[in-house]
Amino acid sequence: MEGNHEKARVRLCYLCNQRRAALKRPKTLEQICRECFYEVFEEEIHQVIVKNQLFKPGERIAIGASGGKDSTVLAYVLSELNRRHNYGLDLFLLSVDEGITGYRDDSLETVKRNELQYGLPLKIVSYKDLYGWTMDEIVKTIGLKNNCTFCGVFRRQALDRGAALLKVDKLVTGHNADDIAETVLLNILRGDIARLSRCTSITTGEDGPIPRCKPFKYTYEKEIVIYPYGYGVKFPWIFFIAYCISLLSVSYW
């Protein structure tokens, strides 16, 4: 009798109804097992790619790879989906070295490891090579005020120039649903209504030489944080600490 009661208390996966539920999805609040979580996570991204016609067979695609959680998971998932569903894409990792001592070193090592793990060619472009200055040198000249603004502009241009060097057709970034929501709120607070439609688009820059795509547009940040541990996808601990607290609201059994 005790065994039956114990069985009855076990929460089964909402999707397969066979395995024990391991977590409650932040996105849908469904109680599902780990296996089903990985399956639906990848399938949802595949559906986003297909429904929005993000890619065409034969295209060369650069993945903006910072070594952080979003771009690391994106590189892994996109390479897996490319093989599994025969997208026919040539994938490349594209990283920017801003020249910030103690900041980019660990993440670049992660990207280099990803190059070997995923079998994707890697291109690293640096501020020093592109502009003749590292970010550390720029800060010494202009001071700390507005240095993030300078870095953001330089980084965006560096990605564009790196993508041009790779002769890719599109550049994909790891911007997720949380990032887009934050951008929308910031634009509203600034009164920058003109940018609202642009910042929510899944593809931007279509009128330019290299469009940018966001396959994670509908993917929650918490689920991106959960995902790596099933497949041993690794990124530097410093990028992870800021998100540990978000996992406290994810229910586990």
What would the pLDDT profile of 168-203 be if each residue is shown by its tens digit? 999 999 999 999 999 999 888 888 877 777 788 999
The CATH code belonging to domain 45-249 is: 3.40.50.620
Q: Using 50, 70 and 90 to split pLDDT, how confident is the model at 54?
A: very high
> How close are the terminal C-alpha atoms of the chain, in Å?
23
Q: Using 50, 70 and 90 to split pLDDT, how confident is the model at 55?
A: very high
What would the pLDDT profile of 91-127 be if each residue is shown by its tens digit? 999 999 998 888 777 888 889 999 999 999 999 999 9
Residue listed under structure tokens 């959960």: 226
Q: Strands 23-24 and 31-32, how do they pair? A: antiparallel
Q: Using 50, 70 and 90 to split pLDDT, how confident is the model at 244?
A: low
pTM: 0.86
- Nearest partner of 40 among 16, 20, 17, judged by Cα: 16
Q: What is the mean pLDDT of residues 144-159?
A: 83
More confident call, 232 vs 111:
111
Domain borders along the chain are 45-249
Measured CA to CA, the distance from residue 2 to residue 209 in angstroms comes to 67
3-state secondary structure of 23: strand
